[in-house]
Structure formats: structure tokens, C-alpha cells
Amino acid sequence: MGIAAKLSCTNCEYSQHVFVGIGFRFLDLRAILEWYKPEEGREQIKAFMREEDARVVCYKGVYACEHCGYLLNEVYLHIELQTQSYTNHYDCPRCHTQMPKQPFQREVEIECLDCPECEGGKLDVNYDMDWD
Ligand SMILES: [Zn+2]
Ligand SMILES: [Zn+2]
């Protein structure tokens, strides 16, 4: 289901392991609540769980900071019910601006990322085993 990959810069020492995609505990709110940590999101999950038809989109992806290029491998969580919705969000750990709303999760997107540490560096992607 999900993909594990190692990103490494062809130009400098930067490397990072990332996981993208859906895990088996990502499919419904009850399962997500077992591992999801941020308090704000947990409150939202509990509130939406009271309703039968809440729809959830949850996957792991790579957020790329538009300001400084930092890459953050985190969980995207979006819940909606009729006209209400909740989407989680992150601030960049390096420059503290808000990350884009959606992370990259497709292989073609991951393969186009730029190095966050050096000017003009491209990232090589090596896929490991599937996870989950
Ligand atoms: Zn680099
Ligand atoms: Zn940043």
C-alpha cells in the first residue's frame, strides 16, 4: 500500500527516509484515533466520529515548504461531513511559515523534489520495501 523510499541529494550530504501512501490503520476514524497524536486533530476526529457518514481522507506524504524548501514527512488528515470539514496543517519546523495544504504522495511527485539543503540539488529516490 504505502511506499518507503530514501531520498538523497546528488549534490550534497542530505538524505532522508520517507514513507508515503496509506497504511492499514488509515482507513477509518476509530483506527486513526489510536495513533494520531496532535491534540487539535484528535478533538476533530472524536467530534466527527459521532456521525455515521463522516468521510475521511488520510495518508502520509511529503510536505515541501514553499518558502525554504524544507521537506516534512507527515500525515495528511481531511474529514468532511456535509458542509463541515477539517483539514490538518503544519508549520515548517525550519522557517515557521505554514506548509502547503496538501503533501506529495505520488511517486512522480516525490521524484521531482528539490534538495532542501543546497542550491539546485536534485534528489535521487531509492525505493525500499512496501510498508504495512
Ligand atoms: Zn543538496
Ligand atoms: Zn520553511
Question: CA quadruple 7, 36, 76, 4: dihedral positive or negative?
Answer: positive
Cα(91) to centroid(ligand 2), Å: 8
Question: Comparing C-alpha atoms, which of 101, 79, 80 is closest to residue 90?
Answer: 101
Angstrom distance (rounded) from CA 94 to CA 109: 22
From first to last of the 132 residues of the chain, give the pLDDT tens digit: 789 999 999 999 999 999 999 988 999 999 999 999 999 999 999 999 998 899 999 999 999 999 999 999 999 999 999 999 999 999 999 999 999 999 999 999 999 999 999 999 999 999 987 655
Q: Which ligand has the shortest distance to the CA of 96?
A: 2
Q: Which ligand has the shortest distance to the CA of 64?
A: 2
Write a three-state SS string for the chain: CEEEEEEEECCCCCEEEEEEECCCCCCCHHHHHCCCCCHHHHHHHHHHHCCCCCEEEEEEEEEECCCCCCEEEEEEEEEEECCEEEECCCECCCCCCECCCCCECCHHHHCCCECCCCCCCEEEEEEEEEEC
Q: For ligand 2, a single-atom ion, which residues have Cβ within 5 Å?
A: 65, 67-68, 70, 92, 94-95
Angstrom distance (rounded) from CA 127 to CA 109: 14
pTM, 2 dp: 0.91
